[in-house]
Amino acid sequence: MIRYYFKFLTALLFITSVNTYGQLYDIFQVTNIEKFQGKNFTLEGKIYYKDAITNDSWLVLAALSVDDKGKVIKAPIYNDNAGDYYKKGEWSSYQLKGKIEKKATYLAVGITIAGNGSYYLDDFKLFVGDGKNRIEIPLANAGFENDSLTNWQNRNFDKNTTILPSKEMAFTGAQSLFIDNSKVVAAPTLGNNPEVGKYMDVNGIKLYYEIYGEGEPLLLIHGNNSSMGRFDKQLEALTKKYKVIALDSRGQGKSTDDQTKITYELMAGDIAVFLEKLQLKKVNILGWSDGGNIAVILGMLHPDKVNKMAIMGTVLYNNDSSVTSETNKLLHQQVKEMTNRGVSETSMDYRLKMLLLTEPNINPDALEKIQAPTLVMAGEHDVVKEKHTKLIAAKIPNSQLVIFKGADHEAPAKIPQLFNETVLKFFDSPVK
């Protein structure tokens, strides 16, 4: 198993692409699951937050199927949101469910951590469903009772990180694993740059934003339950010519929220006020996923605010004609699990999931109101059906359509060079 360590280490680099709240760290171990190929698994772990969870400081479970040569078979899976499981001042029970790939020999299981928080970890357990049976797969030193951490590997930890078995806290037994990042000085990243980050009061909340570069203004609008940091692979390319304005939508990233019902129209209104306060009449917009939905509504309701817009993975409504059935099945499952865990319906995590299921509700014919030249993009294997993407492009008067062959909804992150070239070519071309 040791001979595959560096291959697994490389594979787990993909875990750090799930979010971009600054530096991320991994702790994991690899176990042989060859005889359980194609079976469902459940990873469990007990987490105690010594410091309160924040948008910048959190922990999630992660798992990755790997073949006998150390090659990643499919993208890793992880908890969508650490806040779904977090309980202040007590041990939190985290759970991750997934499926072992049919060609997998090993499963790398562990955690991914962001930020400067401190945590205690205990009682990792891995179960595989085999018919009616639930089989526990032994994990070495899963309760950290042994002071040796040989079976647990870590990646990316800073020289100032403390990681060791501790008797201070334990869910069971005498010890847990203590991780302390409080002394780590993280390098500034998009979405976590105190040198340029600012807040603006908008519609009763505070919107967090960062501005980079010079030139025509180009606003970035991110996807659901995410942050501006998702555009980290676009920033360098875009700032070579444009003044990039990165924004966290209400209740996401570093922006605050209130109990106003969240809608795409509300977030588009936030942006309209935001641009007015920056004294910007017309801006270029790059919107990804929910960001594309918001951009479309902004273009319809506030055409004076938009110069050009490029939208990726956008929907007008959510039904069987627009979004894959697998996506909606997963969303319904996630909402059910949140309800079963007692997640409040007033929490932003719950509200954002429901937003995906119930909105937007845009009449395709209303897209004729959009005056801005628009680049409509999607991946060939996007969660948004290609027919729906083509409908959007057909209904916007001055639009172009690009379907990225072989790509999916994550094209900006997975094929950044081609994506950036496509977007820049569009923004750089003269308005006809």
Query: What are the extents of the domains in the chain?
Result: 2-180, 198-428
H or E segment to which residue 233 belongs: helix 232-239
Q: What is the pLDDT of residue 271?
A: 98
Question: Is the C-alpha dihedral spanning 320, 323, 325, 331 positive or negative?
Answer: negative
Beta bridge partners of 25: 113
Quickly tell me which residue has 């060859």 as its tokens: 34
Q: Which of 397, 356, 390, 349 is nearest to 373 (CA)?
A: 397
Q: pTM for the full model?
A: 0.80
C-beta separation of 399 from 375 below 8 A: yes
Per-residue pLDDT tens over the stretch 305-358 = 999 999 999 999 999 999 999 999 989 988 998 898 888 899 998 999 999 999
Q: Taking Cα atoms as reference points, which of 253, 257, 224, 227 lies closest to residue 347?
A: 257
Cβ neighbors of 340 (< 8 A, separation 6 or more) are: none
Q: How far apart (Å, rounded) are the C-alpha atoms in residues 349 and 36? A: 33
| Residue 419 dihedral angles phi and psi, to the nearest 5° | -60, -45
Contact 398, 337 (CB under 8 A): no
CB 243 within 8 A of CB 275: no
- Asked whether 26 and 110 are in contact (CB, 8 A), the reply is yes
Question: Could you tell me which CATH number the domain at 198-428 has?
Answer: 3.40.50.1820
CA dihedral 144, 148, 150, 154 (to 10 degrees): 60
Q: Compute the distance between CA of residue 425 and CA of residue 318 in angstroms, rounded to an integer.
A: 30
pLDDT of residue 192: 87
Quick one: DSSP state of residue 181? Answer: -
Answer whether the bond into residue 360 is a cis peptide, omega within 30°.
Answer: yes
Could you give the CA distance from residue 339 to residue 350 in angstroms, rounded to a whole number?
A: 9
Measure the N-to-C terminal CA separation of the chain; round to a whole number of Å. 60
Please compute Rg for the chain using Cα positions. 22
Nearest to 346 by CA among 78, 94, 91, 83: 83
Residue 102: CB atoms within 10 Å = 10
Residues 6+ apart with CB under 8 A from 6: none
Which of 169, 81, 77, 181 lies closest to 123 in space, CA to CA?
Answer: 169
**Cα(143)–Cα(122) distance, rounded to whole angstroms?**
5
Specify the CATH number for 2-180; select among 2.60.120, 1.10.3470, 2.60.40, 3.40.50. 2.60.120
Alpha-carbon distance of 336 to 330, in angstroms, equals 10
Beta bridge partners of 45: 94
Tokens of 182: 């409080």
Quickly count: other Cβ atoms within 10 Å of residue 1's Cβ.
Answer: 11
In this prediction, residue 23 carries a pLDDT of: 64
Handedness of CA 15, 17, 18, 21 (dihedral sign): positive
Instruction: Show the low-confidence residues of the chain (pLDDT under 50).
Output: 1-21
